[in-house]
Structure 1
Amino acid sequence: MQAVVLAAGEGTRIRPLSDSLPKPMLPVADRPLAAHTADAAAQAGADELVFVVGYEADAVRDYFGEEYAGIPVRYAVQESQAGTADAVRAAREHLDGEFAVLNGDNLYDADAIADLFAAGPSVGAVRVEDPSNYGVLSTEGDAVTDIVEKPADPPTDLANTGAYVFPAAAREWLDVPESERGEHEITDVLARTVEEFEVSAVELDRWLDVGRPWELLAANEWKLAELDREIRGDVHGDADLRGDVVVEEGATVDAAVVVEGPALIRSGASVGPNAYVRGATLVGEDAKVGHGVEVKNSVLGRGTHVAHLSYVGDSVLGRNVNFGAGTNVANLRHDDQPVKLTVKGERVSTGRRKFGVVAGDGAKTGINTSLNAGVTLSAGATTAPGEVVTRDR
C-alpha cells in the first residue's frame, strides 16, 4: 500500500506558528506532526510514503530523507494551493496501484489506519455531536453512498476525517473540476469512487485535525500522554520528577526543580533551579526555562527562552521566542467563558476555559510584561518593559 501524505498546506489558520515552518512540521512531542501521520501509515502496513510538499519543502525533505521507519520515501511538489485533489494529482506519477491518502496535519490512531487499509476502498470517519461543520457521510450499513459538505440537515453523525484508501483506477480520476470554493476537491474523487466501487466507512477511535493553535496544544496533550518515563539527561539529585517525565540526553534539569508528567524535556534544553514544569508540557530542543519559572500545559519551541520568575500556562510559543524576566501569561477569563483567539482575522472560541497566548517565531517580551488570555504575538513582535498587552501584536 502506498500512502500519500499531504504536507503542502500553508496553515493559514495556525499562523503565526506556520509563518516560517510548514504546519505539518510543527512539534508534537518528540517529532513533527507529519511524522506521527507517517508512523501511523508505517505501522498500518504502508510499503511506501509519498509526501506532497509545497512551500518550505526542504524542511520536510530534510527530516524524512529517502527512507523513514524502514520504508522508502518519495516526494511530489504541489505548485499551487488548488485543493486536495490537486495535491494528490501532483503525486500521480508515483502511484501504481491501490493508494491511501492521509493529511499530514492530522493525528490518527494507528490501529484504525490499519483497519482503513484492510477495508479499502474506504474512508475514515468519526462520530461527532455537530456534523454540520464537516463533510458528512451517508451510508447503508458500512457502505458509503454519498458525502455532503457541511449540510444543514446531516444524514448521519459520521464526519469525514480526510483519510482514504482509493483503488488504482482513481489515479485517472484526479482531474476533477473546481468546486464552488475554487479548489479541486478529493471528495469529488471519492464520489466517483463510490459510483464505481463499494466504499467502506471505517470508524476511527481517535482523530484530531490540527488546524488552529489550540489544536496543536491538544495534539501535544495526546502524544505526551503516550510517553513512558525515561531519564537520560543530566538531572540534579535534588530535582523531583513525578510520573511520566522524559529527559532526553543532552538536557539539563537543575536543583529544586519539580516536573510533573506527562512532560518532555528535549535534547539541549535546560530547566533552571526552582522551576516548576507541569504536564502536559513540551520543552523543545535548546529551549531554556529559567530560575523560578512555572510552565504548565504548554509548548515551548526550539531555542525559546522563558527567563526567571515568569509564568506560562496553556500557551504555544514558537521557535526562538524570548520572554523577559517576570513575564506573566493570563490563561483564564474572569467570566469563566472559553478564551477566544484570532484566526484569519476573526475572534474564535477555543472551546477551552483555560488558554494563554500564542507567540510566533522570534517574538520577545520586555521584563514584567503581562499578556492577556487569548493574545497572539506575531513573529518578531516585541513588548516594552512593564507593558500590559490586551490586544494582538
Structure 2
Amino acid sequence: MKIIVPMAGIGSRLRPHTLTVPKPLTVIAGKTIVQRLVENIASVLQDPIEEIAFIIGPVAKGFPANTQQDLLAIAEELGAKGSVYVQEEALGTAHAIYCAKESLSGPCIVAYADTLFKADFTLDVNADGAIWVKQVADPSAFGVVKLQDGIITDFVEKPKDFVSDLAIIGVYYFKNGDKLLEEIQYLIDNDLKENGEYQITNVLESLKQQGAQFIPGKVDAWMDCGKKDPTVDTNKQILIFEEEAGANLVSEDVVLENSKIIQPCYIGKNVILKDSTIGPHVSIGAGSTIENATIVNSLIQKNVQISNAKLDNAMIGNHAKYNGNFTSVSIGDYTELI
C-alpha cells in the first residue's frame, strides 16, 4: 500500500502561523498534522505501508528548505520509503496527485493534509475504491456522496437542496493507482479544467462511469486545521482522545514551581512552569517557559515565553514572547507582545 499526501497549499487561512511553517507541519499535541494524518490512515490499513509520497510547494511559496528532510523522517518512522515531489504551480487537486506520478502504482491512499480524523473501521482493500466520509449537520457547505446498497452512486458539490449528509473529508482509496494516473493524464492531455484547475472529483466520476464501485469509509470524528479556532479545537479533541487511550503526554523533565497541570495536556521537554495553572486542553512545545499565567484550551509551540497572562482559545507560534492580559490571541512565530 502507498500513501499519497498532497500538501502544497500555503495555508493562508492559518496565517500568521504558516508564514514560517507549512500548515501540515504545524505541531498539535506534540506531533505534526501530517504525521498524525498518516498514522491515522495506518491504523485502518491491513497491508503494510510501502511508500509515502508527499507533494509540497516550492521554497519560494513558503516551504522551508528542511521540509523534505522532515517528511522523509515521518515516512521512516512508519517503516516506509519516503518520496517528496514539488508542485510548482497550483493547478488543482488532481494535478497535485499527478506530481507524484512516479509513485502512483498498485493500491494507494490519497489524503489531503489539511484534515485529521478518528475512525474505527477496517478498509476493504478488495473494493475498487473508498471515500472517507463523515455525517454532518449542514451538508450544503461540503461535497457529499449519495449511497445505494452501500455503494456510492453520486458525488454532489455543496448541494443547495438536501441529497445526503455524508461529507467527503479528503481521504480516498484506489485499488489501482495506475488507472488513477491514467485518468488524471487524460484530464491534463485534454486540458479538462474546472475553474482553471484539474479536479479529483472529475477523476472519480470518470472512474465510476467506467464501472468502478466506490464504498464509503465512515469516520467517527473529522477535525479541521484550516483556521486558528478550529485548529485549537482540534488540539483539544486530540488531547481528549489521547487521554482516553491512556497516553501520558507530559514530559518527565517538566519543571513545576508552585504550578499545576489539569489534564488532558501535552507538555514538551524542558518546559518550565512557574506560578501557573495549565489546562485543561493545552499543548505546550519544548523549551517554553510559562510564568504567572493561567492557560486553558490553547495551542502553544516551541521555545515560547509567556508571563502575566490569562489565555483561553489561544494559538501562539514558535519563539514568541507574550506578556499581557489578552484572552483570545493568534500570535505567529518570532512575534513579541511585551
TM-score, scaled to structure 2:
0.88
> Which residue of the partner structure matches residue 289 of structure 2?
288
1:178 to partner: Cα distance: 5.3
Q: How does 1:17-28 map to 2 (within 5 A)?
A: 17-28=17-28
8 Å CA contact retained: 2:54, 2:71: no
1:98 to partner: Cα distance: 2.2
Partner of 1:163, secondary structure, is strand
Amino acid at match of 1:171: L
Q: Per the alignment, do residues 361 and 182 of structure 1 end up closer, same or farther by CA in structure 2, a change over 3 Å counting?
A: same
Q: Per the alignment, do residues 59 and 32 of structure 1 end up closer, same or farther by CA in structure 2, a change over 3 Å counting?
A: farther
1:127 to partner: Cα distance: 1.0
8 Å CA contact retained: 2:128, 2:213: no
8 Å CA contact retained: 2:119, 2:220: no
Number of residue pairs aligned between Structure 1 and Structure 2: 321
Distance 1:302 1:195 in 2: 49
Amino acid at match of 2:284: V
1:157 to partner: Cα distance: 0.9
Larger RCO of the pair (alpha carbons < 8 Å, separation 6+) = 2
Post-superposition Cα deviations, 1:355-374, rounded to whole Å, max 9, x if no partner, equal x12111122113xxxxxxxx
Whether 1:53 aligns to 2:25 is no
Amino acid at match of 1:320: H
Q: Per the alignment, do residues 269 and 216 of structure 1 end up closer, same or farther by CA in structure 2, a change over 3 Å counting?
A: same
Post-superposition Cα deviations, 1:101-135, rounded to whole Å, max 9, x if no partner, equal 012221122544x4265644111111111111001
1:294 to partner: Cα distance: 0.9
Whether 1:31 aligns to 2:45 is no
1:161 to partner: Cα distance: 1.1
1:65 to partner: Cα distance: 2.2
> Which residue of the partner structure matches residue 235 of structure 1?
none
Whether 1:16 aligns to 2:16 is yes
> Which residue of the partner structure matches residue 278 of structure 1?
279
Distance 1:118 1:271 in 2: 52
> Which residue of the partner structure matches residue 128 of structure 1?
136
Partner of 1:184, secondary structure, is coil
Q: Per the alignment, do residues 119 and 110 of structure 1 end up closer, same or farther by CA in structure 2, a change over 3 Å counting?
A: farther
Whether 1:260 aligns to 2:233 is no
Distance 2:126 2:249 in 1: 35
Distance 1:117 1:111 in 2: 16
Q: Per the alignment, do residues 202 and 41 of structure 1 end up closer, same or farther by CA in structure 2, a change over 3 Å counting?
A: closer
Amino acid at match of 1:318: G
Distance 2:9 2:25 in 1: 11
> Which residue of the partner structure matches residue 298 of structure 1?
298
Whether 1:85 aligns to 2:87 is no
8 Å CA contact retained: 1:127, 1:158: yes
8 Å CA contact retained: 1:116, 1:165: no
Distance 1:359 1:158 in 2: 35
Amino acid at match of 1:296: V
2:71 to 20, 41, 64: 64
Partner of 2:172, secondary structure, is strand
Q: How does 1:184-263 map to 2 (within 5 A)?
A: 184-196=198-210, 197-228=212-243, 246-249=249-252, 251-263=253-265
Q: Per the alignment, do residues 262 and 201 of structure 1 end up closer, same or farther by CA in structure 2, a change over 3 Å counting?
A: same
1:57 to partner: Cα distance: 5.7
Distance 1:225 1:310 in 2: 24
8 Å CA contact retained: 1:83, 1:183: yes
Distance 2:229 2:309 in 1: 21
Amino acid at match of 2:288: A
1:362 to 313, 334, 337: 334
Q: Per the alignment, do residues 117 and 304 of structure 1 end up closer, same or farther by CA in structure 2, a change over 3 Å counting?
A: farther
1:75 to partner: Cα distance: 1.5
> Which residue of the partner structure matches residue 234 of structure 1?
none
Partner of 2:90, secondary structure, is coil
8 Å CA contact retained: 1:311, 1:328: yes
Q: Per the alignment, do residues 221 and 119 of structure 1 end up closer, same or farther by CA in structure 2, a change over 3 Å counting?
A: farther
> Which residue of the partner structure matches residue 318 of structure 2?
319
Distance 2:2 2:248 in 1: 35
Consecutive unaligned residues in structure 2, runs of 5 or more: none
Post-superposition Cα deviations, 1:173-194, rounded to whole Å, max 9, x if no partner, equal 1142454432211111111121
1:209 to partner: Cα distance: 2.8
Post-superposition Cα deviations, 1:260-302, rounded to whole Å, max 9, x if no partner, equal 0111110122112x21101100111111101x21111111111
Consecutive unaligned residues in structure 1, runs of 5 or more: 230-242, 331-355, 367-393
